[in-house]
A and B are shown apart, each in its own frame.
Chain A
Amino acid sequence: MPAERRRRIAMGAEQLSAFLDGSAEMVVAYVDTAGWPVGTLAGADRHGEEITVEFADPTGTAAGVGVGDAVCCVAEEGTRYDEIRGAIVRGEVTAAATADGRHRWTVRERHTSSFDFAALADPESSGPVSPRET
């Protein structure tokens, strides 16, 4: 997707920050020791430029992730087309703990991309774009 279109549908800084602050669930993704990407839905709590995610892991693979490892958190919401928005946060684990079978990671944000489909609701716009084409 052309960069201009990505910019057109990206959230502004304040909107993005508010969106992430209000996202109680995110898909958290990591790569396991065998090289397979793994994703699951996690509870999320953002504070400053860090996100704490908490989740149970029936695969047993999350135990292989520790401080310094790369993870990705994806938030998305919306029930109407022009309300759909989301963010993809790539970062690294700065703290990891496990209790009662649940993993709790703190993730420092390193790169964030976002999208807001409200920009696509106008039929006179330059057409549909997928914000994920980054």
Chain B
Amino acid sequence: MTVPTENAAAGPGAELPDRRGHDGQPPGDPLTGEHRRFLAEHTRGFLITTGADGGPIGYPMTVRWCDGTLEFNTYRRSAKVTHLRRDGRVCVVMVPRDRAADRRVLSVWGRVQPGEGSIEHWMRDGEDPTPGPSTPPHVATPHGATPHVVTSHVVTPHVVTPPHVVSRVRERLLDGRRIIIRVTPLTALFTPDPQGADDAG
């Protein structure tokens, strides 16, 4: 089953606009294998968009690395969706929840990608032995209260989302109140530890 990702305003296959009409390149470097491994290991992200007034707005989100794209889900009628319809350029700051275990921080730049997002990616149980479509007990998302995929690369702990929250999120994905936002990453950059230990890779 697929559900629309956030391209409804632009239409199928359409390019989402750059609010200011600029065609500048994003900061950062092309994605490396290390960037991709980091994205596969961590789910705590901050989605940075541009508001109607031209200023930045950041949202804590659960972020999933799926088939080379970053995915989120959110309410279809949310403000962030409005912002993304206006300007599809985003920055996603990935911060491990266990900062003591991994002090790296990765900023990723990309564009919201028109297309279809697979709802199964947000429903499957990963490697957890728990049967059925429910979210595995140790798989959870603090942000947006959405489930995420467990991968063998996960190295930092994840927050357990209560089952009633997971169920409601799935209902809302199925009934269309929530949608999947998919971002195609263009560039990325590890940034120095703000506390001074410069272990950025």
| Chain A residues within 8 Å of B, Cβ to Cβ | 1, 25, 27, 29-43, 54-61, 70-74, 76, 78-82, 84, 86, 88, 90, 117, 120-121, 123, 127-130, 132-134
B99-158 interface (Cβ within 8 A of A):
105, 107, 109, 140, 142-145, 157
Cβ–Cβ < 8 Å partners of B13 in chain A:
none
Closest A residue, CB atoms, query B108: A39
Contact with A along B28-51 (1 / 0, CB 8 A): 100000000000000000101110
Q: Measured between alpha carbons, how far is A81 from B57 in the docked complex, in Å?
A: 23
Residue of B24, B60, B95 touching A41 (CB-CB under 8 A)? B95
B93 touching A40, Cβ below 8 Å:
yes
Q: What does DSSP make chain B's interface, helix, strand, loop or mixed?
A: loop
B91 touching A36, Cβ below 8 Å:
yes
| Chain B residues within 8 Å of A, Cβ to Cβ | 18-20, 22, 24-28, 46, 48-50, 53-61, 74-75, 77-80, 87, 89-93, 95, 97, 105, 107, 109, 140, 142-145, 157, 159-162, 164-165, 168-169, 189, 191-195, 198, 200
- Minimum distance in angstroms from B138 CB to a CB of chain A: 12
Closest A residue, CB atoms, query B76: A133
A90 touching B24, Cβ below 8 Å:
no
Cβ–Cβ < 8 Å partners of B198 in chain A:
56
Cβ–Cβ < 8 Å partners of B48 in chain A:
27, 29, 37-39, 72
Q: Measured between alpha carbons, how far is A133 from B49 in the docked complex, in Å?
A: 13
Given known pairs A35-B19, A39-B93, A40-B107, the reply for A133 and B56 (CB within 8 Å) is no
Residue of A37, A76, A86, A123 touching B90 (CB-CB under 8 A)? A37
Q: Measured between alpha carbons, how far is A65 from B168 in the docked complex, in Å?
A: 41
Q: Measured between alpha carbons, how far is A25 from B95 in the docked complex, in Å?
A: 11
A71 touching B56, Cβ below 8 Å:
yes
- Minimum distance in angstroms from B153 CB to a CB of chain A: 20
Residue of B60, B89, B97, B105 touching A40 (CB-CB under 8 A)? B105
A40 touching B191, Cβ below 8 Å:
yes
